[in-house]
């Protein structure tokens, strides 16, 4: 399912955060989005995940306009993680992942109240799926510990498991390696490739350009709210405009 931003602009009062930005996420593969601080990456992510409606332009998923409503966007097939981890800290790891699964399954209120056989079967299936996703991201499938008791890196994995439990067609990861060391970053890269191999399209925002260039099939570069250039990593990293605008630092 292709996710497309068509000529998206976003203004906050007098500030132009995005100006006529277009981007296409094909149904498979890993797309990277890089750019200096304040370039508009998170603003674009928010539009692509239904969190914000662009001031002009549109977001299209599978040929249909994406509703500017995160829950609807998730039901449509777009899941995300956040720059600042957003888990229910007091809840168990498993329950956090179940929240992602419940966005996908329909249960009647009556069935839930009387705990009908259908409701119990559906709950058991959801728990099984949540455990499978915990195993997939490399965590203990038991998941009984409170989410807040996990290390920062493992909490990121729980967020990813929760997003995967909702059966997304596109998974959007906002700085998935923020605060991680080299070993942890490499492990997240392996996990993202595994997600890609399941046939899920992945979009990654990162400041770590080395990570993006080694991971992605296609890279977009945003600078001051405009899409400066996009292409395969080998082309983008050599583009003089990119080097001048963004990569002419020790970071690349």
Ligand X SMILES: Nc1ncnc2c1ncn2[C@@H]1O[C@H](COP(=O)(O)OP(=O)(O)OP(=O)(O)O)[C@@H](O)[C@H]1O
| Positions in the binding site for ligand X (CB under 6 A) | 12, 15, 17, 35, 37-43
How far, CA to CA in Å, does 231 sit from each of 186, 213, 235?
23, 11, 6
In the complex with ligand X, the residue whose CB is nearer, 124 or 251, is 251
CB of 5 to ligand X, least distance (A): 13
CB of 73 to ligand X, least distance (A): 18
CB of 43 to ligand X, least distance (A): 3
In the complex with ligand X, the residue whose CB is nearer, 51 or 127, is 51
Cα three-residue angle 40-194-60, rounded to 5 degrees: 40
DSSP sequence for 92-128? BHHHHHHHHHHTT----HHHHHTT-HHHHHHHHHHHH
User: E strands along 138-234, which residues?
Assistant: 170-174, 201-205, 218-223, 226-231
CB of 209 to ligand X, least distance (A): 12
Of 177, 197, 203, the residue nearest 136 (C-alpha): 197
In the complex with ligand X, the residue whose CB is nearer, 25 or 221, is 221
In the complex with ligand X, the residue whose CB is nearer, 41 or 157, is 41
CB of 38 to ligand X, least distance (A): 4
Decide if 209 contacts 37 (C-beta within 8 A). Answer: no
Decide if 56 contacts 30 (C-beta within 8 A). Answer: no
In the complex with ligand X, the residue whose CB is nearer, 21 or 134, is 21
């Amino acid at each position: 399912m292709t996710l497309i931003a068509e000529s998206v602009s976003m203004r906050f009062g007098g500030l132009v955060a995005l100006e006529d930005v277009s981007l296409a996420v094909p149904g498979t593969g890993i797309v990277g989005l890089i750019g200096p601080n304040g370039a508009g990456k998170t603003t674009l992510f928010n539009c692509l995940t239904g969190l914000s409606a662009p001031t002009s332009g549109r977001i299209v998923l599978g040929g249909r306009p994406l509703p500017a409503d995160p829950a609807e966007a998730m039901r449509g097939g777009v899941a995300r993680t956040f720059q600042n981890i957003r888990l229910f800290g007091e809840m168990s790891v498993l329950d956090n992942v179940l929240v992602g699964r419940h966005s996908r399954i329909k249960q009647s209120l009556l069935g839930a109240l009387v705990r009908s056989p259908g409701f119990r079967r559906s709950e058991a299936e959801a728990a099984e799926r949540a455990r499978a996703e915990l195993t997939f991201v490399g965590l203990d499938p038991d998941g009984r510990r409170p989410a807040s008791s996990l290390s920062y890196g493992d909490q990121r994995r729980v967020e990813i498991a929760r997003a995967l439990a909702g059966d997304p067609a596109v998974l959007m990861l906002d700085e998935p390696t923020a605060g991680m060391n080299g070993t942890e970053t490499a492990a997240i890269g392996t996990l993202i490739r595994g997600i890609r191999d399941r046939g899920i399209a992945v979009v990654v925002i990162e400041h770590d350009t080395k990570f993006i260039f080694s991971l992605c099939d296609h890279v977009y570069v945003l600078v001051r709210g405009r899409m400066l250039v996009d292409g395969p990593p080998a082309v983008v990293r050599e583009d003089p405009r990119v080097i001048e605008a963004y990569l002419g630092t020790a970071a690349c």
